[in-house]
Amino acid sequence: MPLKTVVKNTETDKHEQYILDQIVGQAQAKRALIIAVAGRHNLLLSGPPGTGKTMLARTTPSLLPSLSPDEQIAITKLHSLVTNNCHIITKRPFRTPHHSATRASIIGGGTQLLPGEISLASGGVLYLDELPEFDRQTLESLRQPLEEHKITLTRLRDSVAYPANFMLIATMNPCPCGYFGSDQKTCSCTPTQLQNYQKKLSGPLFDRIDMNVEMKQQSNSVLLKNTTLSTHEHASAKHQIEHALNTQFKRYHQKSKYNAYLTSPEVKQYLSLTSAAEQTLNLASERLGLSSRAYFRIIKVAQTIVDLDSPLGTPIDAKHIAEALRFRQNR
């Protein structure tokens, strides 16, 4: 399939959007999404069908801040490389490639070395629904751009670099049938099927996902309790996110610098932990066998938790580390 065809079918802003108030329950998942948007952290939502994974993911565009004029120009220029009818893009990209998409359409490449979905999602969100159904090689190719926020494509003697500063939101079922661990339906998968399904996602890829939330099914009686739709929860979330973004701007003096983008030396330079926070993190690191990458990612998530409702200069405390750890212990 030609690259342009895949891109055309995943145009920005053509998907229905939701607000947090429309999703019943799922407090932990909502909290994770707010943190993810505020600090540009990568998020994986897992759970049986019907738990609201896709609906929650599609609230993201309405939580993201508006594009600045400079961002509009940069994103439009990038998108103009793959479409002939590219108007000025005024909303942040929310790219949703199908799991059957080729590696070149997602990562970029082809005879003309065109940008793929990871570059077209720059400044916004790359949403991968049913993550394990994507080609494993394609998923492994995400590791470098998730770390460096850019991608370099090469073909023969040609080479071109594109941005890849996207926020990854992915969803997946717990098993092929979707009901492993469900309280309402019995899983029909064999142990071999379960093992093969879980092997589709490598440890190094998981290590680059900052937060992982298991979403449980809500009872039908709960679904009918909230019949009056308000926007209070969503408005409150937007206020928290705006506060966190402003705090990051004051800390880094850059509009496009987010907690998730900090290098390890920058974490040491800009962020501070109380002694109790260091002790909690070091204890967890030994018990869980955390990699150095996971160690620093937990600190960055904890900083975003602080930034949601605390003034600039507030150090990371043990409770912030504990909450950040909870989003990694579902693995």
Chain segment 285-331, per-residue pLDDT in tens? 999 999 999 999 999 999 999 999 999 999 999 999 999 999 986 55
- Which among 92, 89, 90, 98 has a CA at the least distance from the CA of 37? 92
Chain segment 52-81, per-residue pLDDT in tens? 899 999 999 999 999 999 999 999 999 999
Transcribe 273-286 into DSSP letters. Answer: B-HHHHHHHHHHHH
The pLDDT of residue 198 is 83
The pLDDT of residue 276 is 98
Chain segment 15-63, per-residue pLDDT in tens? 567 888 888 888 999 999 999 999 999 999 999 998 889 999 999 999 9
Domain boundaries, the chain: 3-223, 242-326
Query: Considering the domain 3-223, what is its CATH architecture?
Result: 3-Layer(aba) Sandwich (3.40)
- Which among 180, 175, 172, 182 has a CA at the least distance from the CA of 206? 172
Burial of 15 (0-12, 13-18, 19+ CB in 10 A): middle
Chain segment 131-143, per-residue pLDDT in tens? 999 999 999 999 9
Cβ count near 275 (within 10 Å): 10
What is the DSSP code (8-state) at residue 318?
A: H
Cα–Cα dist 317/309, whole Å: 14
The pLDDT of residue 221 is 63
Phi, psi of 19 (to 5 degrees): -120, 160
Cα–Cα dist 101/2, whole Å: 10
Mean pLDDT computed over every residue of the chain: 89
What six digits make up the tokens of 259? 């907690």
Cα–Cα dist 281/265, whole Å: 18
Helices (H), 113-256: 117-120, 136-140, 143-148, 191-199, 203-207, 220-223, 232-252
Angstrom distances, CA of residue 185 to CA of 178, 198, 214, 251: 9, 20, 16, 48
Chain segment 88-107, per-residue pLDDT in tens? 999 999 999 999 999 999 99
Chain segment 145-159, per-residue pLDDT in tens? 999 999 999 988 889
The pLDDT of residue 6 is 37
The pLDDT of residue 2 is 38
Cα–Cα dist 234/240, whole Å: 10
In this predicted structure, the answer to whether residue 219 has a pLDDT above a threshold of 80 is no
Chain segment 169-201, per-residue pLDDT in tens? 999 998 999 888 777 788 999 999 988 888 889
| Mean pLDDT score, 109-113 | 90
| Mean pLDDT score, 162-168 | 96
